[in-house]
A and B are shown apart, each in its own frame.
Chain A
Amino acid sequence: MQTQQASSPKSEAQWIRQIAKRDRGAFEQLYRAYERKLYRYLLGIVRSPESAEELTGDVMIEVWKNASRYRGHAKPSTWLFGIAHNKAIDVLRRRQPQVAELHAVAGAPDPRPGPEAAAINEGDRHEVAAALDALSAEHRSVLDLAFNNGCSQAEIAQIVGCPINTVKSRMFYAKQQLRQALERRGFRREIS
């Protein structure tokens, strides 16, 4: 599925209501709108294309089975990413009981523009992608949800199942880890 349809939360909510009535056309529309987004989000967490692909299918099957439970209190994207996040975390738990420590990165915030800015200014996509891959699953998911999927703090908190303050601290540490990953990858030039 290469193409994605432009859709609004309202039309997506309508599709989910139709899916609850076993409407395969609505399911296919929702699938087309979210397949790539969910796959990329899951890939960022589980780091295996095969697992991410299998999980994407599982998420959409979950949507088919449980569409009638969607009450419309959250945006459809929040509901879908919430299912995806839970499934991905389950896989990580089964695969590796020791989930990466959240507080591995310490130190006070450094407000100066870091090497990530330098890398971005150079447009070095490859380096940034590799630095993003070096982030822990929790930090990567917060960055993905905020910047790739336009989620608010409250929506991210709902998706990953934690308080808003935790989302803020994860964002802070994600930025700091990204900075360190870029430094490890050789971006040691002088920062003004």
Chain B
Amino acid sequence: MNHLKIAELLPWYVNGTLAPAQREAVEKEIETCELCASDLETLKALQKTMLDVEAHAPGPSQFLVNRTLANIEEIERKRETQKAGSQWWRGLSAGAKAAVLVASLALILIAGGTLVRFTNSPNGQMALPPPPPVAMNALKVPAAADRTSASAAEAGATNIADVYSVQTKAAPVSTNKAPFQRPQIIRTGNMSLLVPDVEKTIARLQEIAQAQFGDVLALDDTTPSQPGERHIATLKLSVPQDRFAQTMDAIAKLGGVQTRSVAAEDVTNQIVDSQARLKNLRHTEEDLLRIMDRQGKVADLLDVQNQISSTRDEIEQLDAQLKSMQHRVAYSALSISLEDEIPAALVGPGAGTQLGDSWQTALRDSKELALRIGAGVLRIVAFAPYWAVPIALAWWLVAWLRRRPAY
């Protein structure tokens, strides 16, 4: 192999993927060829730096995995629905399948016959059904095809070739913005429910949030302290935007829906603006860094350094705002209020509880009476000097009067 052929193999010698024969040829060449050996060193350094750049470069958003997994669940759900739809056909007997096919063929023939009849009619026109109603926003913002047709009409195109030429001129307007220009919408939802058991519903809500690849962000659970109060809890959930409607429906099945509201805010323009500003700021920062590399006065360098610092601050602030906005678009917030259907007071105690309560009350009352009697006796004893002496005097007086002779 000549020098040029060997030089072509060097990148793959560096990444270790050459066949043994090619590897040997390269090793022989670099022992004798100074240029190849030098090129090899350059390539080794290049690989090392590229790996270093990769190791320090940012990765994708941490929310990408959840979005992808949610999309896959959606695909599976649709697949299951389609599978169920096709099962009715497989479930049919051979005779039933044949009947369906014959009926379909007959319908096609009838429709074809009708078409031919209309085509051969004297005025050559077919009565078409009225067009379906068009949504207001569809009228305001025509689709790309409509715009091209309209522009063709404006240009006075009279035949297909004219229309085609106008369409080919207008087409690039729509193709440039194909997949990444979908509206960026922040969705929020509120729902209040009356449920049979708040505790169980909270657990169920946590399960629903996890199943939809979301999470419970906040929980405020107020357990009733007095009989008659209702058990109330509020939760905040965060779920992927494409799972928002499903999650609302799943939650609605947990109890009686009292209120339900959904709000949406279109932030497409804000996100696009922030991205553009961020890009400009990064370019500015790169330019400033290049200026720093040049030699100059210390005062000028300090000035540039200050500008770099303030630009970096702006970049970080804007980047954080953008990421926050993108997160709010990717994940919708749901506020759920739960309340017990029946307050504690309306649920009467059982017979056993009532008897137990009566027994406890009677015991408590009899103990209290015994204590009061004991206290009374002790008081009587304690006050004995005050009442025993007059009684003794009175008793002695009565006895003296009885002993005195009667006159």
Interface residues of A (CB under 8 A from B): 1-2, 22, 24, 27-28, 31, 35-36, 39-40, 48-54, 56-57, 60-61, 64-65, 91, 94-97, 109, 111-114, 116-117, 119-121, 123, 125-126, 128-130, 132, 143-144, 146-148, 150-153, 155, 168, 171-172, 175, 178, 186
The closest CB in chain A to the CB of B180 belongs to A51
- The one of B8, B35, B72, B176 in contact with A172, judged by C-beta atoms closer than 8 angstroms, is B8
Minimum distance in angstroms from A48 CB to a CB of chain B: 8
- Chain A minimum-CB-distance residue to B16: A150
Query: How does the 8 Å CB contact mask read for B1-26 relative to A, with 1 for contact and 0 for none?
Result: 00010011001101111100000000
Nearest-CB distance from B328 to chain A (Å)? 15
Q: B122 near A: Cβ within 8 Å?
A: no
| Residues of chain B with a CB closer than 8 A to A40's CB | 54, 57, 59
Is B358's CB within 8 Å of the partner chain A?
Answer: no
Other-chain residue from A1, A57, A151, A168 in contact with B71 (beta carbon distance below 8 A): A57
A-B pairs with beta carbons under 8 Å apart, 10 shown: A27-B72, A31-B65, A40-B54, A94-B175, A94-B179, A97-B175, A147-B11, A147-B51, A148-B51, A152-B12
A39 near B59 with CB under 8 A, answer: yes
Nearest Cβ on chain A to B302's Cβ, whole angstroms: 21
Is chain B's interface secondary structure helix, strand, loop, or mixed overall? helix
Task: Point out which of B71, B179, B286 has the most chain A C-beta atoms below 10 A from its C-beta.
Answer: B179
B12 to chain A: closest residue by CB: A153
Q: Tell whether, in the assembled complex, residue B36 and residue A111 are in contact, meaning their CB atoms are under 8 Å apart.
A: yes
What secondary structure prevails in chain A residues at the interface with B? Answer: helix
Chain B: interface residue total (CB-CB under 8 A): 53
Which of A114, A130, A168 is within 8 Å of B286, CB to CB? A130
18 more CB-based (< 8 A) A-B contacts, given A1-B64, A40-B59, A95-B176: A1-B59, A22-B76, A24-B72, A35-B59, A35-B60, A35-B65, A39-B59, A64-B75, A112-B38, A113-B38, A120-B49, A125-B53, A146-B11, A148-B51, A148-B54, A152-B12, A171-B11, A172-B8
Q: Are B53 and A129 in contact (CB under 8 A)?
A: yes
A132 to B47, CA, bound (A): 12
The answer to whether B38 and A64 have CB atoms under 8 Å apart is: no
- The reply to whether A147 and B64 form a contact with Cβ atoms under 8 Å apart is no
Say yes or no for B357: interface residue by CB 8 A criterion.
no
List the count of A-B residue pairs having beta carbons below 8 Å apart.
141
Would you call A36 and B60 a contact (CB within 8 A)? Answer: yes
**What chain B residues lie within 8 Å of A48 (beta carbons)?**
180
B 60-77 to A, binary, CB cutoff 8 A, 1 in contact else 0 = 111011011101100110
Is B401's CB within 8 Å of the partner chain A? no
A147 engages B50 (CB within 8 Å): yes
> Which of A53, A64, A130, A153 lies in contact with B61, CB distance below 8 A?
A53
Contact of A128 among B53, B172, B275 (CB under 8 A): B53
Q: Name the distance in Å between A37's Cβ and chain B's nearest Cβ.
A: 9
How many whole Å from A153's CB to the nearest CB in chain B?
A: 6
A53 and B45 contact, Cβ closer than 8 Å, known pairs A22-B76, A132-B53, A186-B293: no
The docked-state distance in angstroms from the alpha carbon of A36 to that of B57 is 10
Q: In the complex the two chains form, is B7's CB within 8 Å of A111's CB?
A: yes
Q: Note all chain A residues with C-beta closer than 8 A to B72.
A: 24, 27, 61, 64
- What's the Cα separation between A60 and B11 when bound, in Å? 29
Cα A122 to Cα B289 with chains together (Å): 17
Measured between beta carbons, the chain A residues less than 8 angstroms from B17 are 150-153, 155
- Whether B52 is near chain A, meaning CB under 8 Å from some CB there, is yes
Q: Is the CB of B56 within 8 A of A125?
A: yes
A1, A28, A56: the one contacting B62 at CB < 8 Å is: A1
Q: Which B-chain residue is minimally distant from A43 (CB atoms)? A: B57
B162 on the A face (CB < 8 A): no
Contact B172 A97, beta carbon cutoff 8 Å: yes
Q: Write the chain B residue with the least CB distance to A94.
A: B178
- CA gap between A117 and B45 in the complex, in Å: 7
Q: How far is the CA of A114 from the CA of B43 in the complex (A)?
A: 11
A24-B14 Cα distance, complex, nearest whole Å: 37
Taking CB atoms and an 8 Å cut-off, the chain B residues in 28-60 that contact chain A are 35-36, 38-39, 41-42, 45-54, 56-60
B residues 223-264 near A (Cβ < 8 Å) are none
* Contact residues in B for A39 (Cβ distance below 8 Å): 59-60, 64
Q: Are B41 and A113 in contact (CB under 8 A)?
A: yes
Q: Cβ of A153: which chain B residues have Cβ within 8 Å of it?
A: 12, 17
Q: Does B290 contact A (CB under 8 A)?
A: yes
Cα distance A87–B178 in the bound complex, in angstroms: 13
Given A2-B62, A116-B46, A109:B16 Cβ within 8 A:
no
